[in-house]
Each structure stands twice: as C-alpha cells, then as structure tokens.
Amino acid sequence: MRGMKTTRGIPKSSAKIDDARRDRDQRMNTYRERALKMFPHICGRCGREFEGKRLRELTVHHKDHDHENNPPDGSNWELLCIYCHDMEHQLYLHEQYDEGPSEAEAQGSSSTRKPLASIGDLLKEKK
C-alpha cells in the first residue's frame, strides 16, 4: 500500500466504500423500520408470516426499483421474504434483458455468420 493515501489506517478507497455501505445501511434500516411498522409481517408474494428471529428474513422491496424513492406513506414499498425478493429482482433483470432487439439488430447490422450452415453437407459426407 505504498503511496496510497489512508484514512484512519485504512486505504482511502476502502474507507469510502465503508462510508457508503454505512450510509446505505442506515438509510435501509430507517425505511425498513417504518415499513415493518406500517405493514403486516407477511411476504407480499408467498404469504408466509414472519415473527421473532425470522423477521430478519423479511425485506423491503421498492416497487419501482429506485432505492432513493421512499415516500412517507410507503406506497413504493412491499415486504417480501428474501427468497421472493431475490426472485423479483431476477424477473426485473430478465425483463430488462428481453425488451427486444438492440439498436444494432433493429438497423439490420446483426451478425451474418452462420456456424451451422454447412452441417447438412458434413452429415451427408459421413453416410
């Protein structure tokens, strides 16, 4: 770590990451606590109930996927168990990925390579 600036004996980049994580955790705990007070402790997808130690498995999902959008009435939140929350984000990623052809494909500049085009000829030769 020669020549690297440090903060409290920690490399500066690590200190920034730690600060960002601490800020995120504080923000999350604030809206999580509010959501837990507002809504029943039930997963909005699978309907499982959570209490006691298992309450930590219940997470706050932002319906619009914007973690900065935390209205006081909780209208952008729903409580989901960790499994359903993960599934919700996977579905969201697939939707983003499957929105349709890219600009290049839409303009007709997709690949012209057809690696299996001559397979029929190769199979005929083997007979």
CA angle 20, 43, 98 (to 5 degrees): 70
Spell out the domain ranges in the chain.
Answer: 10-96
Is the full-model pTM beyond 0.85?
A: no
Neighbours of 36 (CB within 10 A): 15
Rg of the chain taking only CA atoms, in angstroms:
25
The pLDDT tens digits for 8-31 are 554 557 888 888 888 777 766 688
Q: What is the pLDDT of residues 83-119, one digit of tens each?
A: 999 999 898 888 877 765 555 555 544 445 566 677 7
C-alpha to C-alpha distance for 49 and 79, rounded to whole angstroms: 11
**Bridge-partner residues for 42, per DSSP?**
49
Task: Write out pLDDT tens, residues 37-57.
Answer: 999 999 999 999 999 999 999
Token pair of 46 as six digits: 């699978």
Following CA atoms 101, 107, 112, 115 in sequence, which dihedral angle do they give, to the nearest 10 degrees? Answer: 0
Confidence at 6, pLDDT banded by 50, 70, 90: very low
